[in-house]
Structure 1
Amino acid sequence: MAVVPTDNWLAEWIDNPLDLLKKTKNGKDDQQSFYQYLMKHGMYRSSRLASDTYEKMKEKKLWDRFALFEQKYKRKWNGPSVPIYLFPVQEKRGMFQSSMKKSGVCFKDEIFFFVTDQEDPKEYEALFVHEYHHCVRMKRLNKKDAEYTLLDSIIFEGLAENAVKEFCGEKYVAPWTKEYEEKELAKYYEKWIQPNLDIKRSSPLHDQLLLGQKAYPKMLGYASGYRLVNQYGMKRDSSTNTLMGVPSSTFVP
């Protein structure tokens, strides 16, 4: 299975997102909790706004477009075939938050994309590359969820965005890759990331450091992972195919 026909699902159940999620692997048992989780990652809240986005998605033929991405990168990376779901993004996020144009979340057995109309269609491919890279790397590492550490998480993000740079171009890498000057990020890494590389995903500190929550600099873990991957790549072959299954510890100097 590849790109699931959620365009047909939305036509019938856009007002009832819990019914949509019943049809997914991770949402089949507890739709309410799963929906809350997906909304944190960008899934639509308002069915009224989502209906407008859905029409834009159909006009852009995004299901066909993502199916082509899946074929392309599954072949390039010898990747797994997992269900891929497209839903409208949660564009309006409140008075003091900017609109979201694209987002995604990857599990080892399915991927969710939250999208709307983009002026530059290459943005869709950049989103796909980042999330599908996660899926392929999870398959290569073959670790249990409970075994993943902060180091694994930051390298996941660094490698995925390195793949975006390789296949889509520097223009399409995420803003967090340029958030900090080298000297500043090196200091943050040494102070906060390096002492906690072995903490597990289950620790609250994991997400605080990865995302830059609480008092930590924003997207600290993401930016640190990208820095480590780039430092490693400057000295060696840094192609995506070469690095896809490399253990996370390899990137720590």
Structure 2
Amino acid sequence: MPSDQAEGATSQTDVVVNGIKRMIFDGTLGPGQQLPVEADLARELGVSRGPLREGVRALSYLGVLETRQGAGTFVTALDSSLLLAPMSFLVDLHHPGGSRALHQVRRLLETEAAALAARHADEAALAAAAEALEAVSGPGGVDPREFVEADIHFHQVIAQAAGNPVLAAMVEAFAGRTVRARVWRAIADEQAIARTVEEHRAILAALRAHDPDRARLRMAHHLLAVEDFLAERG
């Protein structure tokens, strides 16, 4: 395809993407609502059907639209976890040697999540965090992978208690991508699990005291220990 034609096709696709976004922003289309039929939408946006389909496909990849076989195309719930799915994909593609960088971003996100949770966490959230902590706090050993699962759940509860669904979705995106380093630490460092439990207890105490500064510091201390381990073993 000649370059001017390719640029024209891209431009028309952008018209579709921006046009549908505008329709969502101004309330013409809302979460769960079906898009107009293809011919009508193409006419409204002033494009042909080819670019329209490309634009719809692009917005589907981004979690904004979903096509249901035999039913049509709909606006999704526009849930933060859906809209941040491309970021999770980017994290998945991150070079394996970049684990420390991922943990640094994770620390920035989770320290603020802890501070917000200290302000907003209700009794149900505190109970859920305590339950995740107690699952690995009893006498006897614990399988490193089971421990990391409980660890991830503890952090997820805190992120959700922060009251910011975008922040919670971002924490979720990084949680699953740091599992390998967390399991590695639990296996390689015999004291890691015991220290992590104590660090979790300190975080939970700060949440119960509704002390944002202390919660932020306790979470930072906890996550820096993981980064130090990676630095020492890197």
Please give the TM-score of this superposition, normalised by the length of structure 1: 0.22
More helix by share: 2
Please give the TM-score of this superposition, normalised by the length of structure 2: 0.23
Which of the pair has more CA radius of gyration? 2
